[in-house]
Structure 1
Amino acid sequence: MSAHTDPVDTLTAEQSWERLRSQELGRLITHVGERIDVFPVNYVVDGEGILLRTAPGTKLFELTVNSDVLFEVDDHTDTDAWSVIVRGHAIALESDADVQRADAAGLRPWIPTLKRVYVRIAPASVSGRAFHRSAEPDRDGPQEY
């Protein structure tokens, strides 16, 4: 890689959504008071939102206290990597119509537990970056800090 090639590319919103659709495991980040939690969750992209399932517990409680969330998905190969961040609001689906639509999305728990609550993340913003992986540049001479 030449010294003039940037190893980081900013993804467009369309590219970010394409990458989100290509995966099924992400991380939900919640924030309540001084507590920040990260939950690995399987998900599907449903329209322009993220759909996941959960059960009563810490995750669902924190979403009811503060619906502001981050959702992160990434992937990598030996030569490339990417990361997409969705900032938005998470709400538990309550209407019969919303739950029926969510049921049709095909989201199933990865482990044999009952996850009866559908949660939709409505994005406020989506951003992503792609990384070109290669060897670290030479460290010749003094380095600025």
Structure 2
Amino acid sequence: MESSMQPALEELDRAECLRLIAPGGVGRVAFDDGEGPAVVPVNYAVDGESVLFRTSVSGRLNRSLLTAVTGGQVRAAFEVDSIDTATRSGWSVLLRGGAHRLSDEERDKAVRVDPWPGGDRDAWFRLTASDVSGRRLSPP
């Protein structure tokens, strides 16, 4: 028997998911780095139904998401959440789709992404969501 004092879990629609992540901030990119699944935190900005993020040209994320095919994309996922452990509430949003490195022209037109870490972050990527899902846990 489930207690009415338990938090309620609800599935979020695409519009609500995109609204929750719209302010940008910090999220996690999930990808295959050649040795298996990897997850890396990044600063991001939202542009429509895509997220943009920057990384180091010499970094593992850049090397893993590069493709030799012009206009090609690499399958990846992007996750953002907000959790309040005191109230046992929060939400989580997952975008899955294709990521590609932005050309200089695309980068010049892109929304601004300000990475927190120092150093060069000259590899800009766009992950375009083909699938968006999310859940919210609300206090009773």
Q: Name the TM-score, length of structure 1 as normaliser.
A: 0.80
Write out aligned runs for 1:128-143 (5 A): 128-133=134-139
Unaligned residue ranges in structure 2 (runs of 5+): 68-72
Matched residue, 2:82: 75
Matched residue, 1:110: 116
Q: Secondary structure at the match of 2:19?
A: helix
CA–CA distance in structure 1, aligned partners of residues 11 and 23 of structure 2: 18
Q: Secondary structure at the match of 2:66?
A: helix
Matched residue, 1:143: none
CA–CA distance in structure 2, aligned partners of residues 129 and 115 of structure 1: 31
Matched residue, 1:47: 48
1:2-42: CA deviation from partner (whole Å, max 9, x where unpaired): 28x87110001110001111341000001145511110000
Do residues 28 (structure 1) and 29 (structure 2) align? Answer: yes
What is the Cα-based RMSD across aligned positions, in Å? 2.1
Identity of aligned residues (%): 31
Deviation at 1:45, TM superposition (A): 0.2
Matched residue, 1:94: 103
CA–CA distance in structure 2, aligned partners of residues 130 and 14 of structure 1: 14
Which amino acid in structure 1 is aligned with residue 94 of structure 2?
I
Aligned residues between the structures: 130
1:56-86: CA deviation from partner (whole Å, max 9, x where unpaired): 2211111125711111000023332100000
Change (3 A) 1:111 1:6: closer
1:83-120: CA deviation from partner (whole Å, max 9, x where unpaired): 00000111001141x11112xx2211212211111100
Unaligned residue ranges in structure 1 (runs of 5+): 135-145
Do residues 122 (structure 1) and 123 (structure 2) align? Answer: no
Which amino acid in structure 1 is aligned with residue 16 of structure 2?
Q
Deviation at 1:48, TM superposition (A): 1.5
